[in-house]
Structure 1
Amino acid sequence: MAIETVGVIGAGQMGSGIAQVAAIAGYKVRFYDVSADRIEAGLATISGNLARSVSSGKLTEAERHAAIGQITAANAIDDLAAADLVIEAATEDETVKRKIFAQLCPVLNPTAIVATNTSSISITRLAAQTDRPERFIGIHFMNPVPAMKLVELVRGIATEDATFEAARDFVSKLDKTVTTAEDFPAFIVNRILLPMINEAIYTLYEGVGSVEAIDTAMKLGANHPMGPLQLADFIGLDTCLSIMQVLHDGLSDSKYRPCPLLVKYVEAGWLGRKVGRGFYDYRGETPVPTR
């Protein structure tokens, strides 16, 4: 299963990052989103990231130019027809993902691999909604994609060995490190990370410490590079809530119950850095705790 052309669905932070690293690695990239404005914004983000990589000496100007030349905006999902691998990086919503696969699979070559960047949803269940469960796999990149070295590969129950090997070869060519996770809710990283973040929110909710106290405690007391509440804002509180709901529903254990304060923040639309407010207010020069 030779992979030369990669389709990326979703022009947000994750999709843009995936398109960027694939282009740098020499793959032809077809970049698709339902919104033309989001595609343009995603391309602008990639261009800015590549320019900074040149400034910092990580890329040459020739490499930047070559990477940009590898990415083509796909104006319709039909434009992904020539892709050997398509990676879905849409919002963490199973209904949305199923609709995408229903539209995507009929236009693809029968041998093409379909992958999802889901951070928590069952690969087996998503694969069963497609016409190619044996050529379906989870390729879960970490955020931000260009900087983070780890990629979780997750096989569904029907995923063939050839699909897994092709995905592993693809990830290795991106200069990423592969870890293999079984198809259980939230896989490895988020199974461990999100309950910790949720517990930090409970610690805030119960008045044990302030936002600043909790983040300072974990940075200086546990040597974390970023406090858990700051990290939650970076991930997106809606994504944090979605993953906790998947854990709670999938494992039926009360320890995964999303903190009510997390639910309230999402209901308020305070989703973190991407909207300017979460556990911190980012609208000024310096982030300020909101509690």
Structure 2
Amino acid sequence: MGRYAVTEEDPTPRLAVLGAGVMGVSITTLALGQGVPVVLIETDPAKRADAPARIERELRTAQLMGVRSERPRAELVTGRSPADCADADVVIEAITEEAGLKTAALTEVSQVVGADTALVTNTSSIPVDELAAKLPRPDALLGVHFMNPSYLIGTVEVIRGSRTSPAAVDSVGRLLTALGRRGVFVGDGPGFVTSRVLHRMINDAARVVQEGRASAEDVDTLMRDCLGHRTGPLRTADLIGIDNLVDSLRVLHERTGDEGCRPCGLLLEKVAAGEHGRKSGKGFYTYTGVVS
């Protein structure tokens, strides 16, 4: 993706984020730390009230890791309705991995934002064209798959649908420049590149543990130290959120028919037990003091 100068004539894009879950908070943390103001929309009152504290913790973590920009921290505004993001240049949807919920939220946003506002879905697996087909402005939508934590990972997957307009691509390009992120364009389709490859691998890794052939620690050690995976697939599953991973695997299985994407029993058991990974305090590993 090309680089776009942020100037007085072409100022920092105004960003709105839909959803204060793991990815909504992560993307908001990245933006605020890079000096990009955010309107964060969350309909759940408890999540909305807790979001600023969660973001503060993530901003401190980013600073301790030395990945925060030297720009002054930008302003965060929280709201309860898509109407609160009417002035945004770009709206990023980061809600549950369910096509009906995503299209409903994006449709509601389309009715209140300007005609030039770009709409972005952070879906990890649902094809952009599938979502765009249900929207009043299909040309405004493209996918930007941010990884978690967004403030640490400097590259994002960008998916342009068959009807995505050049103007929407340009708006998102300016945003990614302001966020200090590199976008890599890939073709549309279930799971795109990263989820299509990674999520099946995580599923297979969980099956190995389920079959009793290795512990989660041993699987991750081998994948990390022998094959160069940064954290190991099962620690990555905890970071993604095992519930989110299962949702994504179901999308992939339904849309590709690939049996390797059917969520394995161990993943389903962990979701049923509330062991969702880092955000719940327990997944394949146990976490203390980091629950978001």
Q: What is the TM-score when the length of structure 2 is the normalising length?
A: 0.87
Q: Deviations over 1:17-52 (max 9, x none)?
A: 222322344433211101233233222222233345
Overall identity of the aligned pairs, in %: 34
Check if 1:197 corresponds to 2:202.
yes
Contact kept in structure 2, 1:142 and 1:151, CA below 8 Å: yes
CA distance in 1, matches of 2:163, 2:121: 15
Q: CA RMSD in A?
A: 2.4
Contact kept in structure 1, 2:127 and 2:192, CA below 8 Å: no
Check if 1:178 corresponds to 2:183.
yes
CA distance in 2, matches of 1:233, 1:52: 18
Q: Which amino acid in the other structure matches residue 159 of structure 1?
A: T
Shift of 1:56: 5.9
Which secondary structure state, in structure 2, belongs to the residue aligned with residue 67 of structure 1? Answer: coil
* 58 and 269 in structure 1: CA distance in 2 versus 1, 3 angstrom threshold: closer
Check if 1:67 corresponds to 2:48.
no
Q: Deviations over 1:260-288 (max 9, x none)?
A: 22222222322112112222233699xxx
* 209 and 50 in structure 1: CA distance in 2 versus 1, 3 angstrom threshold: closer
Check if 1:136 corresponds to 2:141.
yes
Shift of 1:231: 1.6
Check if 1:40 corresponds to 2:49.
yes
Residue range with higher mean Cα deviation, 73-82 or 124-133: 73-82
Residue range with higher mean Cα deviation, 162-171 or 23-32: 23-32
Contact kept in structure 2, 1:141 and 1:152, CA below 8 Å: yes
Q: Pick the aligned partner of 2:37 from 28, 42, 45.
A: 28
Contact kept in structure 1, 2:223 and 2:232, CA below 8 Å: yes
Q: Which amino acid in the other structure matches residue 58 of structure 2?
A: N
Q: Pick the aligned partner of 2:19 from 10, 19, 38.
A: 10
Give 2:224's aligned residue.
219
Instruction: Structure 2: state its 5+ residue gaps.
Output: 1-9
Residue correspondences, number: 281
Which secondary structure state, in structure 1, belongs to the residue aligned with residue 159 of structure 2? Answer: strand
Q: Which amino acid in the other structure matches residue 90 of structure 1?
A: I
Q: Pick the aligned partner of 1:264 from 266, 269, 291.
A: 269
CA distance in 1, matches of 2:13, 2:107: 23
CA distance in 1, matches of 2:65, 2:238: 27
* 25 and 56 in structure 1: CA distance in 2 versus 1, 3 angstrom threshold: closer
Whose relative contact order is higher, 1 or 2, with alpha carbons under 8 Å and at least 6 apart?
2
CA distance in 2, matches of 1:57, 1:100: 35
Q: What is the TM-score when the length of structure 1 is the normalising length?
A: 0.87
Q: Which has the higher helix share?
A: 1
Instruction: Structure 1: state its 5+ residue gaps.
Output: 286-291
* 59 and 255 in structure 1: CA distance in 2 versus 1, 3 angstrom threshold: closer
* 33 and 253 in structure 1: CA distance in 2 versus 1, 3 angstrom threshold: same
Q: Deviations over 1:64-120 (max 9, x none)?
A: xx424x221224321111111111111222222122123222111222111111111
Give 1:120's aligned residue.
125
CA distance in 1, matches of 2:143, 2:279: 25
